[in-house]
Structure 1
Amino acid sequence: MNETIRKVGIVGIGNVGKAAASTIVHENIADELYLSDIDSERAKGEAYDFEDSIELTQSRTRVIDVPLEGLAACDVILVAVTERSQIPSQSRLELLKGTAAITYDIVPRLKKAGFQGKYVIATNPCDIITYLFYKLSGLPKSHVIGTGTSLDSMRLRKQISKVVGGIDPRSINAFMVGEHGDSQIAAWSHVTIGGQPLDQFEEDNQDELGKIDRPSVEDTARHFGWEILTRKGNTQFGIGNELAFFAKSILNNAHIVTAASVVQDGEYGQTDLAIGVPIVLGKHGVEKIIKLRLNDQEQQGFNASAELIKGYIKQTLDEHEETTK
């Protein structure tokens, strides 16, 4: 009998990596989960700990600690690396110098080891790091995926739910697009509730709800991660579950629609960057980029966000070229 063994790797076993690993193990998403960290003893300890946790569950996932090159045989590698001393005070962009240096180290090593699977990247600043992974890996752009505005879009749906009478967020279709950061925008022109356009929903329910304060809802969604970070010092469970969700969707060929940071080739009028937009996610990674027809105001905001990302990509590439002369 031919068996396909589903292999997922995680590089970076900090708070986010552990949260992703926990979901993968306890939801039985992969047959084998490989953990790699610059602190190899820490990775080994986490693998042992997960081993202890499995007996009381239905999971049969094997958890194995490996050196970085040991991830090359995986179908999907989840990237959750960061410099442990770094906690941004104002913007995820503050992390760039440290995480870019890590990226320039690990991607060539995995390429040399023969990795041909899919990368899913949560490392911040996500859009810039995703683009660096694409440039350094030699993989098709469909195989390099940042979590981008996926969690931000969930936060937007949750905030809309709160102001429209508690309708289940899963019945709300709404996306944050652009940078996974302060310049992202809500694509309000495409928000639907139960399939009904938001403008129509507001009109039909104006006596009960009045007019939704869209700037306030959008701003809350945009900065919700900071609400968590300032209270507990990190975010982990939301983004960890998001990483596991991406891995599951790829392994199961789910063809599910989600926001993600992906490399653009003319979509939305942009090239040579990765940025958050809705995609179809399946076994080939990015099966399709969904092109929303943004209104003029939204397109202007999206373009401004794209220019910000491009500026930091150029800065990073220039700095790396200067240091390698």
Structure 2
Amino acid sequence: MSETVRRVGVVGIGNVGKAAASAVLHENIADELYISDIDSERAKGEAWDFADSIELTPSRTRVLEVPLEGLAVCDVILVAVTERSQIPTQSRLELLKGTAAITYDIVPKLRKAGFKGTYVIATNPCDIITYLFYKLSGLPKNHVIGTGTALDSMRLRRQLSQVIGDVDPRSINAFMIGEHGDSQIAAWSQATVGGQPLDQFEEDNVDEFGPIDRDQVEDAARHFGWEIHTRKGNTQFGIGNALAFFAKSILNDARVVTAASVIQNGEYGQNDLAIGVPIILGRNGVERIIKFRLSEKEQEGFNGSAELIKGYIKQTLEEHEETTAN
């Protein structure tokens, strides 16, 4: 990582990419922001538009439009590519064929160009695409990170906050784990409020807000992205800011705890896939995977989510082998 110039790249300048780039720029996270898109003229226009906004902010970030290979000098590349014609109707998994094809195209090019930094991937389906980036990039597993259930965990904390008397979500420690999709689960056994186990907090305050309907809270967190999507046609600001948060945490060596989709090597009893779990995020990317002691029911749900991801990884690899063979 450069010690003098902090460089962040954004590949894919659609709704999510623009939101991520805006957050990086206006939070002054990087010295240089590189943006790249298959539509280079559009990306150039976005870069110029971002540059117009800088004088009115504390930021002095330099914004450049570059070809894909130009991102190789970056410390962190934020990945928000998708096929613009693709709009999922029921599941993020619907996007897989198109986004896998883009992944097989761009990652070898960036590897050949010499990228040695850290990927942070929001492209859906996030867990499978993160795994493909890992397999194709040649980077160590701690340098390939999907946003995974990071945003879902924020949604869980916010939903829980509303149930327990509007406690600041930042005082709640609770995570969604597993697939960034319909099979994710809440790790309720590990949830705390102000450091107090959630079960104890609920017992002490049951007269105030009554029993917590965990199923309702979990389901709301799981599907909140779709609630946004059905109303405005996309999600962008939440996930865009999550991407910027990951970049800032890496560049600042924040060593913050967040959920993310990362490669498993025996943690949680799983191997050879990317899946959402809590991690410590810092200069080296994934500094450590935090291993929760899940309840039997939670472990069963997590395993089911892992098997779903593995099935789609297997399918994607087989389809690619068949395509290249022909």
Q: TM-score, normalised by structure 1?
A: 0.99
Q: How does 1:131-210 map to 2 (within 5 A)?
A: 131-210=131-210
Does the residue aligned with 1:260 lie in a helix, a strand or coil? strand
**1:301 — aligned with what?**
301
Q: How does 1:38-57 map to 2 (within 5 A)?
A: 38-57=38-57
The gaps in structure 1 that reach 5 residues or longer are: none
The Cα offsets for residues 82-110 of structure 1, whole Å up to 9 and x where unpaired, read as 00011100000000000000000000000
Which portions of structure 1, spanning 4 or more consecutive aligned residues, are displaced by more than 6 angstroms?
A: none
**1:257 — aligned with what?**
257
**1:268 — aligned with what?**
268
Q: Distance in 2 between matches of 1:246 and 1:313?
A: 25
Q: Label 1:138 to 1:3 Cα distance change in 2 as closer, same or farther (>3 A).
A: closer
Q: Distance in 1 between matches of 2:194 and 2:324?
A: 54
Q: Distance in 2 between matches of 1:86 and 1:166?
A: 37
Q: Counterpart of 2:50 in structure 1: which amino acid?
A: F
Q: Distance in 1 between matches of 2:232 and 2:171?
A: 30
- The reply to whether residue 76 of structure 1 matches residue 76 of structure 2 is yes
Q: Distance in 2 between matches of 1:313 and 1:57?
A: 43
- Deviation for aligned residue 1:218: 0.1
Q: Distance in 1 between matches of 2:165 and 2:294?
A: 27
Task: Please provide the CA RMSD for this pair.
Answer: 0.7
Q: Label 1:121 to 1:3 Cα distance change in 2 as closer, same or farther (>3 A).
A: closer
**2:243 — aligned with what?**
243
Q: Distance in 2 between matches of 1:190 and 1:204?
A: 17
**1:89 — aligned with what?**
89
Q: Label 1:3 to 1:142 Cα distance change in 2 as closer, same or farther (>3 A).
A: closer
Aligned residues: 324
Q: Distance in 1 between matches of 2:236 and 2:207?
A: 40
- The reply to whether residue 17 of structure 1 matches residue 17 of structure 2 is yes
Q: Counterpart of 1:255 in structure 2: which amino acid?
A: R
**1:64 — aligned with what?**
64
Does the residue aligned with 1:180 lie in a helix, a strand or coil? coil
Q: Distance in 2 between matches of 1:206 and 1:227?
A: 29
**1:315 — aligned with what?**
315
Does the residue aligned with 1:228 lie in a helix, a strand or coil? helix
Q: Distance in 2 between matches of 1:57 and 1:307?
A: 47
- Deviation for aligned residue 1:208: 1.1
Does the residue aligned with 1:306 lie in a helix, a strand or coil? helix
Does the residue aligned with 1:28 lie in a helix, a strand or coil? coil
Q: What is the percentage of aligned positions where both structures have the same residue?
A: 82
- Deviation for aligned residue 1:3: 6.1
Q: Distance in 1 between matches of 2:306 and 2:41?
A: 40
Q: Distance in 2 between matches of 1:290 and 1:51?
A: 39
Q: Label 1:3 to 1:90 Cα distance change in 2 as closer, same or farther (>3 A).
A: closer
Q: Distance in 1 between matches of 2:8 and 2:60?
A: 14
Q: Counterpart of 2:7 in structure 1: which amino acid?
A: K
- Deviation for aligned residue 1:166: 0.3
Q: Counterpart of 2:270 in structure 1: which amino acid?
A: Q
- Deviation for aligned residue 1:225: 0.1
Does the residue aligned with 1:55 lie in a helix, a strand or coil? helix
The Cα offsets for residues 47-81 of structure 1, whole Å up to 9 and x where unpaired, read as 00011000111100000000000000000000000
**1:102 — aligned with what?**
102
Q: Distance in 2 between matches of 1:44 and 1:210?
A: 54
Q: Distance in 2 between matches of 1:248 and 1:152?
A: 19
- Deviation for aligned residue 1:152: 0.1
Q: Distance in 2 between matches of 1:150 and 1:17?
A: 17
